[in-house]
């Protein structure tokens, strides 16, 4: 079997034109998803059942079903209803771009919320007690003690989730979006050279993964800088 | 809901396919994970490097890309081989079932490698030394002591890997496996009710996830039975 290097050299710039779409999907849904995750988290730790239960059910549903099914429900499924096609959300839901962002944000929100909850549960009890002994109110303790420590504890899992999200953006190609994966699929459909194109794309995705992991690794060291003095 | 009538059996057989893929890929995933963990923990540097490359590649590349590469790549490779014997064959169709199961098992196996590695390291070395002192062979030590002790530590993360597997089966519909998502697409084409059909798929996956979660909870209870007296 012969590797067609000229095809690799041709196809990499073509696929990189989809990089901006891949990154847009990643950053916008990571941002919206994290906001959603914080809301879900606050609902879960609120201690009020009418806020807790909807959050638990939401997380259970979105973590229990494949992201591809969620994308299909939003993109193919929602236009079944007349009231959605006449609603103000239709300009977003009509476009595959809006649907992909919506699906990815809703999905990652459920996962990130669990990650943040894990971070909060990891904050030692003694610190709370120390905070209340110093006369800090519940709100002050949450903002100045729990949050910074929980964020630091949650970084490794959060970085894994961002990598998963980056991998999930490739599924946007199933709803006609031309991200890197979508472009690669059209090139393969034209040339029928899956090895050259897909392996080059795999290398691009691996570089992205590496960049994400390195950045979060740096951020984690930055957040834990006060710990080094003890060691 | 009347539009669902006539599709019940298709969805049922689609679910059976999902379950079959899950069982085959679960077996392969455990195999890949154990081999990977063994290679990572071995003193052989070549094995270390191969295992490291395996985990970096399959944790950094989107699942859909792995599946498409394996599917089209295997089809081309096999067609080339078959054409040596019979030049009249233009394209060889390969079963998406096996390629898909193999593909998702490779991806999740990369995550399982890390889980198993961590779990093997978590086994108290004193246990292995004690076995050696009792004259138990190293093979028997591995089967009767290391695996049962490692299993308990690996279980929580392993449950998550099983959930990833079941959700990844949905991706195999992209390479043409007639599982539930594929059935839903066909049903949509006939009935024009995409929302209903994809929601059914979502519910099927949600029930699979629930069964797996409950099973893992039961297994964890069983695995930690001997620790309950201490509390």
Domain ranges of chain A: 5-229
What pLDDT sits at residue A38? 95
**B69, B163, B169 member nearest A198 (Cβ):** B69
Q: Could you read off the pLDDT tens digit of each residue along chain B, which spans 231 residues?
A: 666 777 888 889 999 999 999 999 999 999 999 999 989 988 889 999 999 999 999 999 999 999 999 998 888 888 888 888 877 777 777 889 999 999 999 999 999 999 999 999 998 889 889 998 999 988 888 888 888 888 888 998 999 999 999 999 999 999 888 888 888 888 888 888 888 889 999 999 999 999 999 999 999 888 888 777 655
Check CB contact of B65 with chain A, cutoff 8 Å: yes
pLDDT at B182: 87
Residues of B in contact with A209 (CB under 8 A): 59-61
Work out how many domains chain B is built from and give that number. 1
Tell me whether residues A205 and B61 touch, CB distance under 8 A: yes
Q: Hey, how many other C-beta atoms are within 10 angstroms of the C-beta on A215?
A: 12
Name every residue whose Cβ is closer than 8 Å to that of residue A57 and which is 6 or more positions away in sequence: none
pLDDT of residue A3: 73
Is residue B229, in this structure, part of any structural domain at all?
A: no
How far is B170 from chain A, CA to nearest CA, in Å?
7
Q: How confident is the model at residue A24 (pLDDT cuts 50, 70, 90)?
A: very high
CATH number of the domain to which B111 belongs? 1.10.3720.10
> Is this complex scored with an ipTM above 0.85?
yes
Cα distance from B129 to chain A (closest Cα, Å)? Answer: 31
**Neighbour-count burial for B25-63, b at 16+ CB within 10 Å, e otherwise:** bbebbbebbbbbbbbbeeeeeebeeebeebbebbbbbbb
Q: Does B142 map to a domain?
A: yes
Both structure tokens of A104: 């990815």
A-to-B residue pairs, Cβ atoms closer than 8 angstroms:
122
- Whether B82 is in a domain gets the answer yes
3-state SS of chain A?
CCCCHHHHHHHHHHHHCCHHHHHHHHHHHHHHHHHHHHHHHHHHCCCCHHHHHHHHHHHHHHHHCCHHHHHHHHHHHHHHCHHHHCCCCHHHHHCHHHHHHHHHHHHHHHHHHHHHHHHHHCCCHHHHHHHHHCCCCHHHHHHHHHHHHHHHHHHHHHHHHHHHHHHHHHHHHHHCCCCHHHHHHHHHHHHCCHHHHHHHHHHHHHHHHHHHHHHHHHHHHHHCHHHHHCC
Whole-number Å distance between alpha carbons of B203 and A211: 36
Give contacts of A65 with chain B, Cβ < 8 Å: 167, 202, 205-206, 209
Do residues B2 and B82 touch, judged by C-beta distance below 8 A? no
B209 contacts A65? CB cut-off 8 A: yes
Interface of A with B (CB under 8 A): 1, 61, 63-70, 72-73, 76-81, 163, 166-171, 173-174, 181, 184-185, 188, 192, 194-195, 198-199, 201-202, 205-206, 208-210
Indicate whether B116 belongs to any domain. Answer: yes
Task: Tell me the pLDDT tens digit for each residue of A170-207.
Answer: 999 999 899 999 999 999 888 888 888 999 999 999 99
State the pLDDT at residue A170: 94
**Residue A1, pLDDT above cutoff 60:** no
Residue B1, pLDDT score: 61
- Inter-chain contact B167–A202, Cβ cutoff 8 Å? no
Looking at the domain A5-229, which fold is it?
Answer: MetI-like fold (1.10.3720)
Q: Do B181 and A194 touch (CB under 8 A)?
A: no
């Amino acid at each position: 079997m012969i590797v067609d290097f000229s095809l690799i050299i041709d196809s990499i710039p073509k696929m990189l034109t989809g990089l901006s779409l891949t990154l847009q999907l990643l950053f916008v849904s990571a941002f919206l998803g994290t906001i959603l995750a914080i809301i879900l988290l606050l609902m879960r730790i609120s201690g009020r059942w009418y806020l807790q239960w909807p959050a638990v059910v939401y997380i259970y549903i979105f973590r229990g079903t494949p992201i591809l099914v969620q994308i299909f429900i939003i993109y193919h499924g929602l236009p079944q209803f007349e009231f959605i096609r006449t609603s103000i959300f239709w300009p977003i839901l009509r476009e595959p771009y809006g649907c992909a962002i919506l699906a990815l944000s809703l999905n990652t929100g459920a996962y990130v919320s669990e990650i943040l909850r894990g971070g909060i549960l990891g904050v030692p009890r003694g610190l709370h007690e120390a905070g209340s002994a110093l006369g800090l109110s519940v709100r002050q303790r949450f903002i100045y003690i729990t949050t910074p420590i929980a964020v630091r504890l949650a970084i490794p899992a959060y970085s894994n989730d961002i990598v998963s999200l980056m991998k999930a953006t490739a599924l946007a190609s199933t709803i006609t979006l031309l991200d890197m994966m979508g472009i690669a699929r059209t090139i393969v459909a034209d040339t029928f050279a899956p090895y050259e194109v897909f392996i080059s794309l795999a290398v691009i995705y691996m570089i992205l993964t590496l960049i994400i992991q390195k950045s979060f690794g740096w951020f984690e060291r930055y957040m834990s800088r006060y710990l080094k003095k003890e060691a | 809901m009347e539009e669902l009538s006539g599709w019940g059996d298709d969805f049922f057989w689609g679910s059976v396919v999902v379950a079959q893929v899950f069982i085959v890929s679960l077996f392969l995933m455990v195999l890949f994970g154990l081999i990977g963990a063994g290679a990572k923990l071995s003193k052989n540097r070549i094995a270390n490097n191969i295992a490291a490359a395996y985990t970096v590649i399959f944790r950094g590349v989107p699942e859909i890309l792995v599946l498409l590469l394996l599917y089209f790549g295997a089809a081309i490779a096999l067609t080339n081989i078959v054409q040596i014997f019979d030049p009249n064959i233009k394209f060889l169709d390969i079963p998406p079932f096996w390629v898909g199961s193999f593909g998702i098992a490779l991806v999740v196996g990369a995550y399982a490698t890390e889980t198993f590695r961590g779990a093997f390291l978590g086994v108290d070395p004193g246990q292995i030394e004690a076995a050696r002192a009792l004259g138990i062979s190293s093979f028997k030590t591995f089967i009767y002591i290391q695996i049962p002790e490692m299993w308990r530590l690996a279980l929580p993360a392993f449950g998550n890997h099983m959930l990833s597997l079941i959700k990844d089966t949905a991706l195999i519909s992209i390479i043409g496996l007639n599982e539930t998502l594929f059935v839903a697409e066909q049903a949509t084409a006939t009935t024009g009710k995409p929302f209903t059909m994809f929601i059914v798929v979502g519910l099927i996956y949600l029930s699979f996830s629930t069964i797996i979660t409950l099973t893992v909870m039961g297994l964890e209870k069983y695995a930690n039975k001997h620790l309950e007296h201490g509390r």
